[in-house]
């Protein structure tokens, strides 16, 4: 396998970045299709439309119907063809962005992502996560290309709920923890190769930024302030984590996290919150990590309020028997747990989750939370 790094063609982040959207989009085309929901349009619609029209672009306004389903992508594709759109612009959360990416790739037009929350690392990636009509996740596609432009208005993101930024920190914290496992074993990355030194450096940088600025960024966002710490954490959540996971590699933290939605009690969790518990579980599974690394990660999660116990994820008192379904999925062929240098068994995953809960409970009580 070759060393492969992929990424978006341009990344723009800053206060009021959306007001310059026209300047960046006119390089890519003339008729941008804007995919967004009513709430997002209410927040950024005027700024974005004014900016596009000021550059003589002809925006096509499309209301997103709620999930990245085959049906929704086909509907957007039909509009792209009918109206002659030459750029698909996803504005909002991950599902909107993923739908825009899929429709753009399948029609051969340009892709722009404008995340309005920093809750996951999907905006820079070439992947779309699919859902069925009942809202169940059915897998993902990794497209041949990443977005042409990722346009991040940090003022908009700083005004979104702090919970979304914190969830993004959970997703981003996992990036380095998982990429270093994949590096050790030469496990493949999402890009279809193995990781580069650049991907590893970016993944580690994101981790360090979270440890240094995560708590302060949360405090600032809760106070309604956009500060340098918030900017740094947005970059870590979206850019560093996006490049790091896609070109680094995934492991048990995401595998365990991806199993949690099968429990109805966990349906309220955001992706990054599931991953946060997955990180602690992975660290308890892996005998190659130092206890300093384990305490560092769990104490950071406690400090920013990410879930570290069964009670935190809605599974207080869960039986080992129920956890076995997660263990079995983790131990199955093709699981992300194969990134580790040791064979991952169902029993080991169940015990690691139980240990993670005990560890999280203890560190929370030590921190007085």
Q: Which residues contact Zn ion (rule: CB under 5 A)?
A: 171
> Cβ neighbours of residue 330 under 8 Å, at least 6 residues apart?
252, 255, 256, 259, 337, 344, 346, 349
Q: Strand, helix or coil at 115?
A: strand
Least distance in Å: CB of 172 to Zn ion? 9
Rounded Cα gap, residues 270 and 23, in angstroms: 33
Closest CB to Zn ion among 29 and 249?
249
Closest CB to Zn ion among 116 and 237?
237
Closest CB to Zn ion among 43 and 275?
275
Which residues on adjacent β-strands are paired with residue 89? 34, 112
Rounded Cα gap, residues 37 and 199, in angstroms: 33
Which residues on adjacent β-strands are paired with residue 101? none
Residue 312 gets which letter from DSSP?
G
Least distance in Å: CB of 35 to Zn ion? 22
Rounded Cα gap, residues 272 and 170, in angstroms: 5
Least distance in Å: CB of 250 to Zn ion? 8
Closest CB to Zn ion among 44 and 164?
164
Least distance in Å: CB of 171 to Zn ion? 4
Q: Strand, helix or coil at 146?
A: coil
Closest CB to Zn ion among 22 and 94?
94
Rounded Cα gap, residues 294 and 343, in angstroms: 21
Closest CB to Zn ion among 257 and 284?
257
Q: Which tokens in the block code for residue 98?
A: 């993923």
Closest CB to Zn ion among 279 and 350?
279
Least distance in Å: CB of 41 to Zn ion? 26
Residue nearest to Zn ion (CB): 171
What DSSP line would sit under 171-232, residue for residue? HHHHHHHHHHHHHHHT---TTSSB--HHHHHHHHHHHHHHHHHHHHHHHHHHTT---HHHHH
Least distance in Å: CB of 254 to Zn ion? 6
Least distance in Å: CB of 259 to Zn ion? 13
Least distance in Å: CB of 7 to Zn ion? 16
Rounded Cα gap, residues 23 and 17, in angstroms: 10
Rounded Cα gap, residues 238 and 153, in angstroms: 12
Closest CB to Zn ion among 169 and 331?
169
Least distance in Å: CB of 94 to Zn ion? 9
Closest CB to Zn ion among 24 and 245?
245
Rounded Cα gap, residues 174 and 348, in angstroms: 20
Angle at 165 between CA 122 and CA 226, to 5 degrees: 115
Q: Strand, helix or coil at 129?
A: strand
> Cβ neighbours of residue 132 under 8 Å, at least 6 residues apart?
69, 138
């Amino acid at each position: 396998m070759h060393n492969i790094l992929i990424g978006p063609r341009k990344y723009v982040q800053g206060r009021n970045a959306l007001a310059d959207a026209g300047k960046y989009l006119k390089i890519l085309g003339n008729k941008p299709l804007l995919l967004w929901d009513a709430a997002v349009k209410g927040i950024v619609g005027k700024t974005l439309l004014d900016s596009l029209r000021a550059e003589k672009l002809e925006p096509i306004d499309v209301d997103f119907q709620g999930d990245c389903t085959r049906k929704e992508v086909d509907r957007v594709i039909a509009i792209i063809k009918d109206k002659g759109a030459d750029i698909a612009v996803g504005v909002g959360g991950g599902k909107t962005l993923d739908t825009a990416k899929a429709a753009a790739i399948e029609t051969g037009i340009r892709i722009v992502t404008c995340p309005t929350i920093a809750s996951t690392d999907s905006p820079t990636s070439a992947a779309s996560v699919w859902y069925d009509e009942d809202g169940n996740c059915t897998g993902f596609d990794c497209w041949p290309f990443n977005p042409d432009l990722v346009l991040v208005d940090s003022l908009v993101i700083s005004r979104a709920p702090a919970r979304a930024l914190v969830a993004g920190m959970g997703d981003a914290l996992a990036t380095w923890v998982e990429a270093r496992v994949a590096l050790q074993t030469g496990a493949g990355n999402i890009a279809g190769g193995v990781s580069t030194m650049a991907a590893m450096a970016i993944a580690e940088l994101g981790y360090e930024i979270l440890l240094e600025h995560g708590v302060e960024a949360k405090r600032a966002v809760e106070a309604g302030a956009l500060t340098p710490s918030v900017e740094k954490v947005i970059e870590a959540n979206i850019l560093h984590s996006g490049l790091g996971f896609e070109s680094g590699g995934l492991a048990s933290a995401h595998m365990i996290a991806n199993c949690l939605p099968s429990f109805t009690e966990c349906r309220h969790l955001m992706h990054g919150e599931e991953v946060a518990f997955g990180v602690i579980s992975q660290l308890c599974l892996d005998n190659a990590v130092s206890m300093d690394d384990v305490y560092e990660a769990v104490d950071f999660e406690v400090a920013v309020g990410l879930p570290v116990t069964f009670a935190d994820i809605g599974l207080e008192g869960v039986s080992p028997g129920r956890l076995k379904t997660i263990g079995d999925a983790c131990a199955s062929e093709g699981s992300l747990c194969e990134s580790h240098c040791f064979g991952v068994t169902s029993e080991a995953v169940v015990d690691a989750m139980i240990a993670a809960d005990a560890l999280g409970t203890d560190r929370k009580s030590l921190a007085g939370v």
